[in-house]
Structures are given as C-alpha cells and as structure tokens.
Amino acid sequence: MKKNRLIALALCAVLLLSLTVSFAAAEEDVPTFRIIVSANVNTDDLNENEFLKDLAEQAGVRIEYECVYTDWDTRKSVLLTSGDLPDAFIGWNVLSNSEVSYNLPLFANLGELISEEATPNLYAALESDPTYRDACSDLDGNIYYLSDRMPFRPSTYASFLINKTWLDKLGLEVPETLEELEEVLIAFRDRDPNGNGEQDELPLYMNLSGDEAWSIAAFMGAFGCSGSITNYFALDGDTVVYQPLTENFKEFMTWIAHLREENLMPAELATVDDSQFNARLSNETPIVGMTTLWDKSPIGAAYQDEYIAIAPMAGPNGDRGVASNIAISAYDCVPKFVMSADCENKEALMRFIDLCFIPENGVQCFYGPIGTVLEETEDGLIMVDPPEGMTWNSWKYKYAVNGGWPVLGDENFEALFAEVPESDSAKLEMVAVNEPYQNTNTLPKLKFTPEETDELSIVQTDVDTYVTKKMTEWFANGGVEEEWDTYLQELHNMGVDTYVSIYQAAYDRQK
C-alpha cells in the first residue's frame, strides 16, 4: 500500500511538472505587443489597467504600454526618422494624417486585416457608418489607421460666459448685439460690480489666438466670418476662403483693438500665458466679467454658478453666428490607432482592437472601467462622482485615453447610458443657446498628399505665425487700417495663395 502511495505521489509530481511546463509554454506562446500611447498627464499607467488586461486576455494577447505624457512631438520625430517603431501607436494626436501618408511604407494596411470573419465588430462599424469609414481612409482609399467617433459631442465649440450676478447688480440685460455688449463692458469697468471698492474688474478677458472655444475668434461670426474652429479657413459655397485676407477680418480686428483702447480688454492679454490666464479666471474675488471657454472649469469654483452661457451677439451688419462643430469633432478624422508594418502577428493585435468596437468595451475605453468611473444601474450606466479635488475631466482621464482610443461613439454606444454623462452634459447645456446661430460654412478636416504636405510645411507656419503676430500687435497698438495693405502684400509674398490653393484642391477631392 505504501509503495502504491509513493507511485501515486510520483505520478502526481510528474503530472504537475508537465502542467507547469505546458502553462509556461502556453504563456510564452501568447503574442506580446509593444504599444506607445500618447496619454494625458492625468492618465495612470495603462499597464495597471485591469479592464485593458481583461480585454487583452479575451483576445489571447499581451500588451505592454509605453505611456508618453510630454514631449511627444520630439519623440515621434526621432522614431519616424529611425524607422524603429513599436508594434502600434494609440492616442490623441499620436500621428497626423500627413505623417502617416508621408511614411506609408512604415505602416500596415489595416484594410487587408479587416473582414467580417476576422474583425466582426470593426467590420460592422465601418459598414454601418460611411462617415466613419471616410474618417479612417487615406487618400488612396486604403485604411492605414483607425480614428474614432466621439460620443455626446456639442454642435458648436464657443461658449460665451458672462457674469449674470454682475448684470443683475447693475440692472443690465444680457447683451444681444456688440453695441449692447460694449455698454455692458463699460459698466463692468466703471461701476465696481464685484463690490470690493477697487477698480480691478477685467470686463472682457479672452485669448487673442487659437480656436473659438478659447479666444476672440468666437466674435468672428459677428463680422460675417466663419468663426473658424481649427484654422482661419471657411467656405463661400465651394470656394475656400482664408479669412485673414478679407475686409470682414479687418473690421473684426479693428473692433478688437478698439476694446483694448477703451480698457474693456486688458493690455496684458498680448503677453499672458495659460497659467496667468487661468489665475485671472480663478481669482479669489471674481474679476472677469465675460470670457469664452470650452467649459466652466477654469473659473473659480466658489463662483462658477454666477456665469451663464449666452448666445452669440449680432455684429454691425446683423451677422450673428458661430462655427458648426459636430462634423469636425465627432468624427475626428485623425489617427488614433496605427500599426507598424513590422508588427509580427498583425492578426492577433487586430483581435484586440476589434474588441474595442463592442459598445460596452468602447464605453470603458473612452470613459474608464465599469465599477470605477462608471456604475451600472437599472436604467443604464452613470458616471461615479469624482473623488474630492478631481474634476470630471481628470476623473475620466485617470483610467482612460479619453478621446484618444479607436472607438465608435454612435447611438449604440450612447444608448448604454441612463443619461448624458455629467462630464459632457454641462457643455451640451452651455452650447444649446448657440444652435440657432450655427454657421454651416465651416471647412471640414482635410487630408493632404505628401507633395501638398511638403508645400504646406514651407508656407503654413510662416503665414499663420505672421497672422497671429499681427493680431497681437494690432490689439496692443492699433494700426489695422494703416497697415492693412502692407500686411496683405506680406502674406502674398509668404505664399498665402499657394496655401489657399492647396486647401482648395484638398477640399475639392473630399466634398
């Protein structure tokens, strides 16, 4: 009996050793991929993200993430030059369309890996949403990258925010025109609306450059310009117009300079940086009368409720509008996932990416895990309140590459929620006042050939930098009318005509 027991124990030991070896071999056989992720500074190390670990396990792969939080552009340039790429890239602005098109031999043609059998969820997304397919397609019609469709997007960017408490205290109405706005700003300047006995109010406080969610560009619509979101181009029918060349733009900048001359905008805006800008908005006592922001988060928490969103104001000729946003920001049209041509076992990595296009998974890729950032209720998903000291945005970014992961935030995605997530609902409520005034002449995001990219690299930076420089100078010193002809000639010398013709050609291909 003792001998039999020893034999049994020996057999168990052999079996256990065999299983251990088998498991080790199986573990070694799991395809492992290195992915560089361009991440937000608030995002935790994705290698510790249990949801992503589970997703990789379902796909039968292992993912090693290298999260890059700063200096990505410098790092990216070195990688593309060396050709020593990771298996894939994921993230917000991880690569531009032009960088992919210009370096096609470095990247896999994903279209050859997508099929109803191999990637059923991604295949269905591309088949059901032609706009999404277009967003992911290069100029040659092939798919070298995956973009996303972001959920719960606002129809416009700009949000004019004005201190309603100040208006009420001074017996003023919400301005409907720029003329009425100027009267309000004068009252903010002269009548001590914050009640501290000091003339420290900054009536209108806005960035001088950048997209209209943050800057004076939000006022361009009042002067018959598009109110451009991402650049200064707009459409006149099917004609591409670079708005800084127009008389409308001259009128717009003349008005902005006038506000500074009347101390309705502070001269410091010519040199202020982001930290100084945000410090003014979050001052212990409110000092900013009106601004334009994406959301209220930069405003001091103690008095955020004093500010309300108001509709765009009519300009001198009755123009009143802001740029439409939904087609640009919902379908971002920029790469969020790109695979290296040298990636081994491309099919296995695509199995992992395909799982992201199941709505329940896409939601967690975008917002964060269910059970942490999200909670399941009988009516659907809701967002869990962020911990004290965190905003909704930093709470989302902590666990997810929010807006930087290839997902399809369509109606099936949105339907999983009991209500619009709190991180999005505030913005949607703010921009609702803009909907009747949306301009439809906003230029979509365009894709350029390598030859066009080369030409743009010569003229675009020079032209846009010069326009920004002149806007700042005119704000600080005036002189728009006197310098206008010289300014136009300088733009033509820099190649602005080539700049416009490239955009026109790209638009003609895509319209």
**Contact call for residues 474 and 253 (beta carbons, < 8 A):** yes
What are the φ and ψ backbone dihedral angles of 449, each rounded to 5 degrees?
Answer: -70, 160
Q: 330: left (phi > 0), else alpha (psi -120 to 50), else beta?
A: alpha
Mean of pLDDT over the chain: 90
**Contact call for residues 221 and 319 (beta carbons, < 8 A):** yes
41-52: string of b/e by CB count within 10 Å (b at 16+)?
Answer: ebbeebeebebb
Mean pLDDT score, 220-240:
83
pLDDT band with cut points at 50, 70 and 90 for residue 446: confident
In this predicted structure, the answer to whether residue 460 has a pLDDT above a threshold of 70 is yes
In this predicted structure, the answer to whether residue 449 has a pLDDT above a threshold of 60 is yes
Structure confidence by residue, pLDDT tens digits, 303-343 = 999 999 999 999 999 999 888 876 666 787 789 999 999 99
Positive or negative CA dihedral for 409, 410, 416, 420? positive
Write a three-state SS string for 174-229: CCCEHHHHHHHHHHHHHCCCCCCCCCCCEEECCECCCCCCCEHHHHHHHHCCCCCC
- C-alpha to C-alpha distance for 452 and 431, rounded to whole angstroms: 35
Going by C-alpha positions, the residue among 120, 143, 140 that lies closest to residue 132 is: 143
Going by C-alpha positions, the residue among 232, 299, 224, 219 that lies closest to residue 259 is: 219
**Contact call for residues 373 and 330 (beta carbons, < 8 A):** no
In this predicted structure, the answer to whether residue 229 has a pLDDT above a threshold of 70 is no
In Å, what is the CA distance from 185 to each residue of 204, 222, 245, 285, 393? 7, 17, 29, 18, 31
In this predicted structure, the answer to whether residue 107 has a pLDDT above a threshold of 50 is yes
**Contact call for residues 407 and 366 (beta carbons, < 8 A):** yes
Going by C-alpha positions, the residue among 209, 240, 212, 274 that lies closest to residue 466 is: 209
**Contact call for residues 105 and 112 (beta carbons, < 8 A):** no
Structure confidence by residue, pLDDT tens digits, 152-194 = 988 888 889 999 999 999 999 999 999 999 999 999 999 999 9
Strands (E), 9-94: 32-38, 62-68, 88-91
Give me the pLDDT at residue 154, please.
Answer: 87
- Count other C-beta atoms under 10 Å from residue 13's C-beta: 10
Give me the pLDDT at residue 510, please.
Answer: 84
pTM passes above 0.85: no
Alpha carbon 154 to its chain's center: 12
- C-alpha to C-alpha distance for 132 and 159, rounded to whole angstroms: 27
Residue pointed to by tokens 């990789």: 56
Going by C-alpha positions, the residue among 328, 332, 296 that lies closest to residue 438 is: 328
What are the φ and ψ backbone dihedral angles of 376, each rounded to 5 degrees?
Answer: -85, 130
Q: What is the crossing angle of helices 392-399 and 422-431, to 10°?
A: 130
Alpha carbon 444 to its chain's center: 14
β 438-439/322-323 pair status: parallel
Going by C-alpha positions, the residue among 402, 351, 344, 395 that lies closest to residue 90 is: 402
In this predicted structure, the answer to whether residue 423 has a pLDDT above a threshold of 70 is yes
In this predicted structure, the answer to whether residue 13 has a pLDDT above a threshold of 60 is no
Residue pointed to by tokens 């032609």: 130
Positive or negative CA dihedral for 174, 180, 181, 185? negative
Q: Give the range among 74-88, 295-309, 437-451 with minimum mean pLDDT.
A: 437-451
